[in-house]
């Protein structure tokens, strides 16, 4: 287990270094942010001065060296546009992204898993076909449309919920549902196929033969054994949700990381993009590691590489 | 008797003190912007979402009234000592939000700060004609320019006065996070990405703001801004287009406010490159474009066709200019008569921020008139890089742009677009250069107007650039708000009133 962790940390550091190097160079390939920062009537001399202030007049390798040096000191730099530390900007957005990701995950799991189970167990009934259709519909609705519809119905006509913004639990409800519905369908389908898989196995038949009731069969045997694919999908979903949900955030004016990233890319605020990508890479690595550990908890037959049984 | 008078006096005093303690209208007000302000330091970022907010925290040296006339604000009066020296008298009794009086020293400091290349202000280009600022005493400041500069006052409309002692004590970074100004509203708090809260400044020297507290929120999606307004969670929303305006017109409790701006939509032509190095071809381009059709059929928000690179809100606007003819048949004849040369490809370079409906219409109109026109869409930074590259002849052959100098002076529009030394220009005409320099180099308004008239005559002959329309700013507001939006797209809270 220890060896596994050490190996994983080594791999993580190499991955982070690779990601940061790629982002550094790819962004600079896209061009120069200076023109976006100066007003229309700035002269060529003003533009040069701005470039010097931002350190963009230096050769690329010098910029890269400085960037690596700052990274080893945990200094992510300062936004070109806002003139504020990147860590401050990301720290202010992160809580909102966590809230939205949490809300969406709850919506997805609480609706998705039971629906998947029903789809699997009741696959012989016509009514489940209708349910499957509804799941597909929920997944296929574009968020920029369903989000605005929700705002019009619940925010404007009925007046039950604030149409947009952040700050209270009420604000969180609509964006969580809009975002959660997308992952809900994924969960329903994963849960359905995992349960179907298990249903055809011998131990289920044996349990049935022993006279175990359907309820107990599901809660004591089926669920635990079907949970592995759900954990894998959750790890993927969490990394995606934490990277931000651009459209949902834009429609509901939710101040998460997705919006920040898009704004930063559009204005070529390199330093902010680097910060967000670093965070994203870190989260993905951490969540996958957590999922690996969780497998061994759920299924003691699984051993992590390097440790002996 | 005496007793009664005493009682009456006491009652009056009580009523008065109550009236003073409880403001007549204690309301909170919410404005939906597009994005959060990228800066609250008025000497840094220059974009609408930033200045909508910080212009309420700070006073400017001078300002424009609702009719667009330059009127005193921090400077109470001014006088030209010589062609290059402007002496300004600072109003007495202005205090910053921390209670310190605003003096000439703060004004000189503010000018020095924004023109210091070390600060790296994106607004440097607006103020770098000022070479020195000296506080003669507490109430007198003298600004020196390198040469006579007629647009100085118009630029000073955008110069906010910051307190020297605060900036020097806390530094630029902390000042940006908790700005201290002298304006009608004080900085309250900032929730990054969500909102900026301003509180009314009860000791403001001028017209006080009508709202106790104002929240500026970032709402990037225009449909969501409209929904917020209709749901009552926003009282004023910015940046709408004509579709959203139609939605609001049928809703109750809300209204549309609009104002013609100083922003001009135009088509830029590269006169250094075939086929547009030929004046005949440029004339054909101008005749091929149905500008009325663009304004009425696509925009539909009250925009007006313009026949010069100016609006009535600009100094240098020339009344009764001959309209640019729309005659696609004549355009087609010219193009056909040119044969091969008329078929040189013309690429309209554009970026997503520009209204693509207009770009597509321009391309289609040109194609219908027989030009070989196509569209090339790139991201904004690439577009700006291409448009401002060193080699003028490589700048895009055609482009659609919207220009505002925020100074309401023609110099701020046509000098950067037409002068051969400008990084925007696609024109190289010594006659135009000389006239532009003449108009910029004198304080005599008649001489300036005369130069602009000559430029206009030359433009009608050469069609270096095609003016399209005067843009309109569209806002959605609660019915209870009374406010007159102005040409310079500013949003002064203390010029609004609210009726329950």
* Interval B310-319: pLDDT, tens: 999 999 999 9
Contact residues, A window 39-98, toward B, CB-based 8 Å cutoff: 39-44, 46-47, 49-50, 53-54, 81-84, 88-89, 92-93, 96
State mean pLDDT over B436-448. Answer: 92
Confidence at B27, pLDDT banded by 50, 70, 90: low
Residues whose CB is less than 8 angstroms from the CB of residue A137 and which lie 6 or more positions away in sequence, other chains included = none
Among candidate residues A268, A183, A167, the one with its CA nearest the CA of residue A230: A183
CB contact under 8 A, B423 and A43: yes
A29 — contact with chain B (CB < 8 Å)?
no
pTM passes above 0.90: no
Phi first, then psi, for residue B274 (nearest 5°) are -70, 145
Contact residues, A window 230-249, toward B, CB-based 8 Å cutoff: none
Q: Is the peptide bond before B275 cis (omega within 30 degrees of 0)?
A: yes
What is the DSSP secondary structure assignment for residue A220, as one 8-state letter?
I
Mutation site for A-interface testing, chosen from B221, B232, B237, B309 by largest number of A Cβ within 10 Å: B221
* Position B474 pLDDT exceeds 90: yes
Q: Distance between CA atoms of B403 and B264, rounded to whole angstroms?
A: 5
Q: Quick one: CA torsion of B291, B293, B296, B297, rounded to 10 degrees?
A: -140
Of residues B23 and A132, more confidently modeled: A132
Q: For A53, which of B45, B120, B177 is closest by C-beta distance? A: B120
Q: Distance between CA atoms of A87 and A93, rounded to whole angstroms?
A: 10
State mean pLDDT over B138-149. Answer: 93
Judging contacts by C-beta atoms under 8 Å, the chain B residues touching residue A255 are: 36, 191-194, 218
Q: Distance between CA atoms of A161 and B108, rounded to whole angstroms?
A: 50
Q: Distance between CA atoms of B386 and B390, rounded to whole angstroms?
A: 9
Q: For A50, which of B120, B173, B379 is closest by C-beta distance? A: B120
The burial class, CB within 10 Å (0-12 / 13-18 / 19+), for B450 is: middle
A268: left (phi over 0), alpha (psi -120 to 50) or beta: left
Of residues B246 and B293, more confidently modeled: B293
State mean pLDDT over B430-441. Answer: 92
Q: Distance between CA atoms of B129 and B149, rounded to whole angstroms?
A: 8
Give residue-wise pLDDT tens across range B54-103.
Answer: 999 999 999 999 888 999 999 999 999 999 999 999 999 999 999 999 99
Question: What is the structure's pLDDT at B10?
Answer: 45
What are the angstrom distances between the C-alpha of B295 and each of B288, B302, B364, B405, B495? 15, 8, 16, 22, 30
Judging contacts by C-beta atoms under 8 Å, the chain B residues touching residue A44 are: 388, 390, 423
Tell me the pLDDT of chain B averaged across its residues. Answer: 89
Phi first, then psi, for residue A69 (nearest 5°) are -60, -45
State how far residue A100 is from chain B, nearest Cα, in angstroms: 14
Q: Distance between CA atoms of B414 and B436, rounded to whole angstroms?
A: 8
Question: What is the structure's pLDDT at A66?
Answer: 86
Mutation site for B-interface testing, chosen from A164, A250, A257, A262 by largest number of B Cβ within 10 Å: A164
Judging contacts by C-beta atoms under 8 Å, the chain B residues touching residue A150 are: none
Mutation site for B-interface testing, chosen from A29, A30, A39 by largest number of B Cβ within 10 Å: A39
Report strand pairing: B372-377 vs B236-237. Answer: unpaired
Question: What is the structure's pLDDT at B8?
Answer: 46
Contact residues, A window 104-163, toward B, CB-based 8 Å cutoff: 144, 148, 151-152, 155-156, 159, 162-163
Q: Distance between CA atoms of B107 and B276, rounded to whole angstroms?
A: 48
User: Which tokens belong to B44?
Assistant: 């840094």
Of residues A37 and B396, more confidently modeled: B396
Q: Distance between CA atoms of A45 and B422, rounded to whole angstroms?
A: 11
Question: What is the structure's pLDDT at A39?
Answer: 67
* Position B7 pLDDT exceeds 60: no
Confidence at B462, pLDDT banded by 50, 70, 90: very high
Judging contacts by C-beta atoms under 8 Å, the chain B residues touching residue A256 are: 193
State mean pLDDT over A147-174. Answer: 88
* Position A87 pLDDT exceeds 70: yes
Q: For B117, which of A31, A49, A250 is closest by C-beta distance? A: A49
- Please report, rounded to a whole number, the percentage of residues in chain B having pLDDT higher than 90: 68
Give residue-wise pLDDT tens across range B171-180.
Answer: 988 899 899 9
* Position B340 pLDDT exceeds 60: yes
| Crossing angle of helices B430-440 and B445-462, rounded to 10° | 160
Question: What is the structure's pLDDT at B309?
Answer: 94
User: Which tokens belong to B36?
Assistant: 């959060």
Residue B265's SS3 state is strand
* Position B228 pLDDT exceeds 60: yes
User: Which tokens belong to B78?
Assistant: 């001014």
Q: Distance between CA atoms of A160 and A154, rounded to whole angstroms?
A: 5
Residues whose CB is less than 8 angstroms from the CB of residue B367 and which lie 6 or more positions away in sequence, other chains included = B373
Tell me the pLDDT of chain A averaged across its residues. Answer: 83
Judging contacts by C-beta atoms under 8 Å, the chain A residues touching residue B220 are: 250, 253, 259
Confidence at A41, pLDDT banded by 50, 70, 90: low
* Position A306 pLDDT exceeds 80: no
How far does chain B reach from its first CA to its final CA, in angstroms?
A: 41
Which position has the token pair 């287990």? Answer: A1
User: Which tokens belong to A302?
Assistant: 């699984």
Q: Distance between CA atoms of B339 and B331, rounded to whole angstroms?
A: 13
| Crossing angle of helices A86-121 and A169-199, rounded to 10° | 40
Among candidate residues B345, B379, B232, B288, the one with its CA nearest the CA of residue A31: B379
State how far residue B238 is from chain A, nearest Cα, in angstroms: 14
What is the DSSP secondary structure assignment for residue B342, as one 8-state letter?
G
Question: What is the structure's pLDDT at B271?
Answer: 93
| Crossing angle of helices A169-199 and A223-242, rounded to 10° | 140
Judging contacts by C-beta atoms under 8 Å, the chain B residues touching residue A92 are: 191-193
Q: Quick one: CA torsion of A22, A25, A31, A35, rounded to 10 degrees?
A: 100
């Amino acid at each position: 287990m220890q060896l596994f962790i050490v190996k994983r940390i080594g791999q993580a550091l190499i991955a982070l270094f690779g990601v940061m190097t790629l982002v550094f160079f790819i962004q600079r390939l896209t061009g120069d942010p200076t023109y976006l920062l100066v007003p229309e009537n700035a002269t060529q001399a003003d533009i040069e001065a701005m470039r010097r202030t931002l350190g963009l007049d230096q050769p690329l390798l010098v910029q890269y060296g400085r960037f690596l040096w700052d990274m080893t000191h945990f200094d992510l730099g300062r936004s070109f546009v806002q003139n504020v530390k990147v860590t401050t900007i990301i720290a202010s957005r992160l809580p909102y992204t966590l809230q939205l990701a949490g809300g969406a995950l709850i919506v997805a799991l609480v609706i998705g898993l039971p629906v998947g189970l029903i789809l699997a167990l009741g696959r012989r009934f016509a009514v489940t076909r209708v349910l499957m259709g509804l799941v597909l519909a929920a997944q296929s609705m574009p968020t920029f449309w369903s989000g605005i519809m929700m705002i019009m119905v619940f925010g404007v006509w009925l007046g039950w919920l604030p149409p947009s913004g952040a700050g209270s639990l009420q604000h969180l409800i609509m964006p969580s549902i809009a975002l959660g519905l997308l992952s809900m369908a994924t969960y329903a389908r994963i849960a359905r196929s995992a349960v179907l898989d298990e249903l055809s196995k011998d131990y289920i038949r044996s349990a049935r033969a022993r006279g175990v009731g359907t309820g107990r069969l599901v809660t004591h045997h089926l669920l635990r054994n079907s949970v592995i694919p759900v954990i894998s999908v959750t790890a993927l979903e969490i990394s995606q949700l934490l990277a931000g949900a651009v459209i949902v955030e834009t429609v509901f004016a939710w101040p998460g990381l997705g919006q920040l990233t898009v704004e930063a890319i559009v204005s070529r605020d390199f330093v902010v993009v680097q910060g967000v990508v670093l965070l994203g890479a870190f989260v993905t690595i951490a969540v996958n590691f957590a999922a690996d550990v969780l497998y061994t908890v759920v299924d003691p037959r699984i051993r992590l590489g390097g440790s002996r049984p | 008797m005496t007793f009664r008078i005493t009682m009456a006096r006491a009652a009056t005093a009580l009523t008065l003190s109550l009236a003073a303690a409880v403001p007549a209208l204690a309301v909170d007000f919410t404005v939906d912007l597009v994005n959060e302000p990228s800066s609250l330091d008025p000497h840094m970022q220059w974009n609408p979402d930033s200045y909508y907010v910080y212009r309420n925290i700070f006073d400017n040296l001078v300002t424009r009234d609702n009719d667009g006339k330059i009127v005193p604000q921090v400077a109470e009066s001014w006088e030209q000592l010589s062609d290059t020296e402007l002496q300004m008298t600072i109003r007495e009794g202005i205090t910053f939000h921390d209670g310190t009086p605003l003096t000439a020293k703060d004004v000189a400091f503010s000018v020095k700060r924004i023109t210091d290349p070390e600060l790296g202000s994106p607004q440097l280009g607006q103020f770098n004609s000022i070479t020195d600022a000296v506080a003669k005493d507490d109430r007198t400041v003298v600004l020196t320019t390198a040469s006579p500069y007629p647009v100085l006052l118009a630029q000073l409309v955008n110069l906010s006065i910051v307190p020297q002692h605060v900036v020097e004590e806390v530094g630029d970074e902390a000042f940006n996070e908790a700005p201290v100004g002298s304006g009608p509203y004080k900085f309250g708090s900032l929730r990054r990405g969500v909102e900026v809260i301003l509180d009314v400044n009860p000791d403001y020297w001028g017209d006080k703001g009508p709202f106790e507290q104002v929240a500026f929120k970032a709402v990037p999606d225009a449909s969501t801004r409209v929904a917020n307004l209709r749901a009552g969670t926003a009282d004023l929303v910015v940046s709408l287009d004509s579709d959203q305006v139609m939605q609001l017109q049928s809703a109750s409790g809300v209204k549309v406010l609009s104002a013609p701006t100083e922003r001009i939509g135009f088509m830029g032509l590269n006169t250094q490159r075939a086929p547009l190095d030929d004046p005949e071809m440029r004339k054909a381009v101008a005749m091929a474009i149905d500008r009325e059709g663009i304004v009425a059929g696509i925009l539909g928000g009250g925009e007006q066709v313009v026949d010069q690179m100016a609006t009535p809100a600009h100094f240098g606007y020339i009344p009764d200019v001959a309209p640019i003819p729309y005659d696609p048949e004549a355009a087609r004849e010219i193009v056909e008569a040119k044969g091969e040369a008329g078929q040189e490809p013309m690429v309209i370079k554009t970026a997503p921020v520009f209204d693509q409906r207009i770009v597509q219409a321009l391309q289609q109109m040109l194609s219908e008139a027989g030009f070989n026109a196509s569209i090339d869409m790139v991201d904004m930074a690439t577009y700006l890089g291409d448009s401002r590259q060193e080699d003028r002849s490589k700048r895009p052959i055609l482009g659609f742009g919207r220009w505002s100098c925020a100074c309401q002076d023609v110099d701020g529009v046509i000098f950067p677009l037409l002068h051969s030394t400008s990084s925007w220009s696609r024109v190289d005409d010594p006659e135009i250069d000389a006239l532009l320099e003449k108009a910029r180099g004198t304080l005599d308004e008649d001489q300036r107007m005369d130069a602009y008239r000559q430029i206009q005559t030359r433009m009608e002959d050469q069609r270096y650039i095609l003016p399209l329309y005067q843009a309109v700013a569209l806002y959605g507001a609660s019915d209870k708000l009374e406010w007159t939006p102005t040409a310079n797209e500013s949003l002064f809270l203390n010029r609004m009133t609210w009726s329950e």
